[in-house]
Amino acid sequence: MACTVTIAIAAWKNSGSAGTASTLAQAQADGYAWGVGNMVTTTVATGNGQPGFLPSGLKDFSLVASPEPSTIALGVIGASALLFRRRK
């Protein structure tokens, strides 16, 4: 017997200053890095002893945090100030 399912893979950082996050909702509430892949509809066999698999069509994602634009701007200003100070 087979059934049609829609799946997505979620990942999150599960520990930090706010403690351990065992669910995606808790990680989001604690402000940890998280991500959810695209949703894919596929047909899977039901019953015992079925091998595990990942269906085609799943796209990758990353939990790498990128800095805010204001942080980058402050870094550039600070580096410029250091370089300007050294020239004198």
How do residues 14-35 score in pLDDT, each as one tens digit? 888 888 999 999 999 998 889 8
Stretch 58-85: mean pLDDT = 78
Is the pLDDT at 77 greater than 80? The verdict is yes
**Consecutive H or E run containing 25:** helix 24-30
Structure tokens at 66: 């990128």
- 33/48: higher pLDDT: 33
**Consecutive H or E run containing 78:** helix 69-87
User: What does the radius of gyration of the chain's CA atoms come to, in whole angstroms?
Assistant: 22
Does residue 71 lie in a domain region? no
Residue range of the domain that includes 50 = 2-63
Which residues touch 39 (CB under 8 Å, ≥6 apart)? Answer: 6, 7, 8
Alpha-carbon distance of 88 to 79, in angstroms, equals 15
If you average pLDDT over every residue of the chain, what do you get?
A: 81
Q: What pTM value is reported for the model?
A: 0.54
> What is residue 31's DSSP assignment?
T
Task: Name the β-bridge partners of 36.
Answer: 10
Does residue 54 lie in a domain region? yes
Tally of structural domains, the chain: 1
